[in-house]
Structure formats: structure tokens, C-alpha cells
Chain A
Amino acid sequence: MTDTAAGSVKLERTNVRSIARAPLVEAPFATTVVELGRERPDIVVLSADLSKYTDIHPFAETFPERFFQLGMAEQNMMGVAGGLAKTGFCPIAVTYTVFATRRAGDQVQMALATGHRTAVIAAFLPGITTPFRASHQGTDDLAIMRAIPGMTVIDPMDATELSAALRAAVSVPGPVYLRGLRASVAEVLVPPYEFEIGRARLLREGSDVGLVGTGLGTQWALEAAELLETRGTSAAVLHVPTIKPFDTTAVVEFASHFRALVSVENHSVVGGLGSAVCEAVAGAGMACRVRRCGVPDRWADAGPLDFIRERLGLDGPSLATSVVDNQEAAR
């Protein structure tokens, strides 16, 4: 990491690969959760009939006595996780985003968030990474979880960060909501990478426009920035993996260099990263035009990820256009 010299932003820059050249890592969550199981005898994992679909099957096979299959019953699973936490274990309750935050939302809040004990809710299929529409696309989970007192909310951008964030999550007091990425996951951040809860990272320097991303949204922002560069626009990208606690300082510092910002997230434009950026910028009294790019306020389409991104204006070229439009509007 080097201090920014060429760009105008005074934040340390973290190294990233070009999205197109990022290698794929197989089941990074599985690897890390098994490592943690070896290191920490207090780690227990819970599943609601999705162990084969959420990269925790290897843990179940390696540590059968510390793996609890609870069937398709997410509300009960969160309650059971609360009980395990109260007996000194660190539960990692794993399901899909929608079932963790909608179906078992009250149980998450009462059983895991009113106390101070460490517990991880690992939620797979974030945002539009599933073709099943309203029933499986978790496009409101960050908003829901962000509103819970004491909840830490993390949306990792790649394999490196997912593993690092899981390690961090089992080591902080209180509940952590961690979005998971399964199967083959791109490795964009170049290891070694130090993840720190609540800390944003500058991934790309630039002097003309600023993009702020979280989760896969950061990959999409980087794609847009690469495109913009070929068109002569220098775009900076700030990555905000922790939605809560929010790195207001970094976002405000980043925003101070631009007239306009574009936020990019794999989530609704209501209540997630974009909202948090607006809160930070407005809270600091800055005049900065923020364009929130994410899932618009409607049920998203059905289909493969690339198809849905195009439909929602979240593909690289559409995002680049949004950035330029927002910049024009801010003139």
C-alpha cells in the first residue's frame, strides 16, 4: 500500500486486480470455516437444510459434533444459535439472505442482537445473484440489518475479503451479519489483505469522478472505472465493505474531492450503501450530488446475474453512463 501521490484522494490505496483477470477461488467460505473450526473449539455451525448450497458441508463432515442440522426452520435456527451463544459457543448460523433477514428477522433481533455475545449470521445469495425473484433475491437485507442496534453488517467484495471478514466476525463481540459468496468466487483483492471491521478502502485513484461500492457492487464499480478510463475519465473507487459501523470519515474525505458521487451496490437503492453515503455526506454538510445505483424500488427480474444487471442498469457500460450523467448534472 502506498500513500496516494498522483490522485487527489488522501487515503491509502489497496491493491486490486483487473476484474477481467481475477482468478477464481473454490468455496473460500468452506476453507475458512474449516480452518476456524480447527483453531477454535468454540465455533459451531448451524444449517437450515442448505448445507450443500452454502459451502458449509466440509465443516459438517470435518466436525460433525459441532455441526447442527436444523432442517428447513430458520426461525428456530436463529433461536438455537442464541442459546448456543449463551453457553459459550460462537455460532455461525448459515442460510440464504432472505431467510435470515425476513423469515427469521425477529428471532435474529431478539435472540442474537439484544445481548452482547458473538454470533455470526452468514447469508448466501446476496442481492440479485439468484434467478428466483422476490422469494430468493435478498435486496433488502442490508437495510434491515443496518437498522438493528449493535449489528455489524458486512458485504464482502470477493473471496479474499469473505475469508478475512469471517475471521474478523468470529472475533468481535455482538452479532455480525455477513453476506456470503458460494462456489467459485473471484479473487480481486490481492493478498495479503488486512480486513478491518468498519474500515473503508481506496481501491483506485482518480481525479474526475468518485464511485463508492460495497460487496459485488464494488466489482461492478471497478468495471465501470476501467471503462471510464478508456474514455479519458479518471475515476476513483472507494470500497466500503462494512455497512455498519459505517466509515463516515473515509466516505466524507473521499467525497470532499468530488462534486458528485455514485454509489454501487448489489442491493436496493433504499436503505443500503447509497443511503448510508447520503447520510454521511449530508451529515457533514457537504454539497455533493449522490447518485445511488442498485436495485430500483421494484422486484428485480428473473435470470442469470449478467442479464439482471443489464436490466437494472448495473452492468459496466450502464454504470459508466450513470457516472457521466451524474457528473454533468452536478456542473
Chain B
Amino acid sequence: MTGVIDHWSKDVEYDLDDVALRIRRRVLDMCLGRGQGYAGQGLALADVFAHLYFRVMRRNPDGSLLDRFVLSTGHSAIALFATLGELGVYEEEELRTYGQAGSRIEESPLEGTPGFEITGGSLGQGLSQAVGMALGERLRGSGAKVYCLLSDGELQEGQVWEAAMSASHHHLDNLVAIVDNNHMQADGAPAQVMEVEPVVERLAAFGFVAERIDGHDHEALRRVLPHASVAQHGPVAIVLETVPGKGVETFEHHHKVHYLRLTRDVWDEAIAELG
């Protein structure tokens, strides 16, 4: 994470509803260039990203993050890019090159892209690196917490459960796994493709303190995602029930919301709908 954040101060209490709305606007704006992208995920994750980046995670005096964020779900990068745009890490103009040939605003970026700690995209691998970071931060005595976002589809990868087992075995009380439980994957709903429920019970059985909330309920987000300085007992898992395309009615019911490829007028309508 670069230290360049122009639009954030620790002394301000942000209106997170408003921040989330602005992230959503950026998500749509980013897709205009090519008329396509992972807007569904970006819109769905705007709320949790607003909380993580504008309230939960702590920063060092130079503006860089003390706590760490691991994006396992590589293709949900659009949500992080939009959030980083809101923080001033990326200029609006550059964000508009999302997914274009040669742009560093990639649909699924590699580590080293500002704000991206790992290479996600080969799904199901992020939680392991988050475990490693949590072990490392604990060993260094930094006090940092590690937040990892993964998706419901990723829960089908065996590695996720290897990582989960290691997190509780090593009593990682500085690790928070956030599951984007959007009931969607490439071939359809996990219930048809490969059932992942009961997610909370499964994570609990692997030693997580796990809870399910509505991923768009800001009060609930405040409750289960306290400021990073608050102590936790062992690894925590938060299962977010999210709606792909949240905030744009037509997207919420779009059968191809996993990846949206739309004409300019449809994007314009969506932008208007968001307000």
C-alpha cells in the first residue's frame, strides 16, 4: 500500500453510507471505458470496503496501513480499486482505464499493484497468505490485524480449509476472514454447483468465531467489524450476505451479474439510478 492518501484523516468520522455510495459510483464509472467489468461484485462489496478502509483498519503516521488487507477474490479488485480511488491512491482518470490493454488497473491484478498485497485470481489461495501475515505480524509484535476477503465459491477449494485449520491451530487472534457469501459463482448458485452451507457452522467447526450478517446493513457491519484495536479471541469469520449489483435494481436481477457486459445506455441508466 502506498502512503499516498489524500482523502482520509483519522480524526474524521466518515459518513459510511455516503462513502459506500461514492465507491459504487466509481465502480460504475470504471466500467464505462470498455462497457464491461465485475461491477456486480464492486457494488456488492462497497459497504464492507467503506467500513474497512474508512473506519476499521488503522494507519501509521505516514498514512500507510498498519493493519493489512488481503484480497483473495482477485476479480473483486474493482471494489478495492474504487475504494483506493476514494482515498486518493488512484486518480479517477486512471481508474477509467480499468481492464484496458496495458493498464495497471487490471480486472485481476498481481501483487505489487498499489493496494494489492497478494496475487489473487487463482482463487482459494488468499487465506493461506493471510495466515502467514498474521503469524508474521504476531512474531514481529506489530499488533497489526490481517483482514482477508474471500468468496463463497472459494470455499470449495480445499486450501481454504487447510488455511482455516492452521488459523485456529495457531490461535490467530489477529486474523479476520470475511466471506462474500453472494450465492453466486461461475456456473450458477453454489447450492446447485457445490453446496457450501452451512458456512457459519463449518467455519466454527474449524475454530473460527463466526457470524453471519447482512453485508449491506451498516449497523451490523459496525457491530461485527469493530475498530481493529479491539481485542479478539482467536480467528474471526464474518459471513456477509451480499447482493451482487447492490444498489442498481436491474443489476441485482441480471442473470449475468457475475460479469457485466452492457451497452452505454444501460450503464448510464445505472449511474442515474444510483444517484
| Residues of chain A having any CB pair with chain B under 8 Å | 47, 49-53, 69-73, 75-76, 98-99, 102-103, 131-136, 299, 301-304, 307, 311
Does B117 sit at the interface, judged by CB under 8 A?
no
Given contacts A72-B185, A131-B107, 8 further A-B pairs with CB under 8 A are A71-B185, A72-B186, A72-B194, A73-B157, A103-B122, A132-B121, A135-B122, A307-B102
Give the chain B neighbours of A70 by CB distance below 8 A: 194
B100 CB → nearest A CB, Å: 7
Q: Which A residue's beta carbon lies closest to that of B258?
A: A52
B212 CB → nearest A CB, Å: 20
Give the chain A neighbours of B158 by CB distance below 8 A: 73, 75-76
CB-CB under 8 A for A303 and B186, given A133-B106, A136-B121: no
Whether B186 contacts A49 by the Cβ 8 Å rule is: yes
- Total number of residue pairs linking A and B with CB closer than 8 Å: 85
Closest 7 CB pairs of A and B: A71-B194, A135-B121, A303-B101, A71-B156, A307-B101, A72-B156, A135-B122
Whether A51 contacts B121 by the Cβ 8 Å rule is: no
Give the chain B neighbours of A75 by CB distance below 8 A: 158
Does B95 sit at the interface, judged by CB under 8 A?
no
Q: Report how far A69 CA is from B189 CA in the complex, Å.
A: 12
Whether B186 contacts A50 by the Cβ 8 Å rule is: yes
Whether B100 contacts A71 by the Cβ 8 Å rule is: no
Contact of A73 among B102, B108, B121, B194 (CB under 8 A): B194
Does B29 sit at the interface, judged by CB under 8 A?
no
Does B110 sit at the interface, judged by CB under 8 A?
yes
Q: Which A residue's beta carbon lies closest to that of B194?
A: A71
Give the chain A neighbours of B102 by CB distance below 8 A: 301-303, 307, 311
Q: Mark B60-85, 1 if CB is under 8 A from A, else 0.
A: 00000000000000100000000000
Contact of B119 among A47, A134, A301, A304 (CB under 8 A): A134
Give the chain B neighbours of A71 by CB distance below 8 A: 153, 156, 185, 190, 193-194
Q: Majority SS of interface residues in chain B?
A: loop
Q: Report how far A51 CA is from B193 CA in the complex, Å.
A: 10
Give the chain A neighbours of B30 by CB distance below 8 A: none
Q: Mark B188-199, 1 if CB is under 8 A from A, else 0.
A: 001011100000
For chain B, the bracket of interface size reads 20 to 34
| Residues of chain B having any CB pair with chain A under 8 Å | 74, 99-103, 106-108, 110, 119-124, 153-154, 156-158, 185-187, 190, 192-194
A262 CB → nearest B CB, Å: 26
Give the chain B neighbours of A47 by CB distance below 8 A: 187
B95 CB → nearest A CB, Å: 15
CB-CB under 8 A for A52 and B108, given A72-B153, A72-B194: no
B187 CB → nearest A CB, Å: 5
Whether B122 contacts A98 by the Cβ 8 Å rule is: yes
Give the chain A neighbours of B119 by CB distance below 8 A: 134-135
CB-CB under 8 A for A49 and B187, given A132-B107, A299-B110: yes
Give the chain A neighbours of B108 by CB distance below 8 A: 132-133, 135-136
Q: Which A residue's beta carbon lies closest to that of B99?
A: A131
Q: Report how far A47 CA is from B194 CA in the complex, Å.
A: 11
Contact of B110 among A53, A72, A134, A311 (CB under 8 A): A134
Q: Report how far A49 CA is from B151 CA in the complex, Å.
A: 14
Whether A52 contacts B187 by the Cβ 8 Å rule is: yes
Give the chain B neighbours of A136 by CB distance below 8 A: 108, 121-122
B261 CB → nearest A CB, Å: 13
A45 CB → nearest B CB, Å: 13
Q: Which B residue's beta carbon lies closest to that of A50?
A: B186
Whether B154 contacts A72 by the Cβ 8 Å rule is: yes
Whether A99 contacts B107 by the Cβ 8 Å rule is: no
Give the chain A neighbours of B74 by CB distance below 8 A: 132, 135
Whether B156 contacts A302 by the Cβ 8 Å rule is: no
Q: Which A residue's beta carbon lies closest to that of B185?
A: A49
Contact of A69 among B120, B124, B193 (CB under 8 A): B193
Q: Report how far A303 CA is from B153 CA in the complex, Å.
A: 25
A21 CB → nearest B CB, Å: 26
A90 CB → nearest B CB, Å: 23
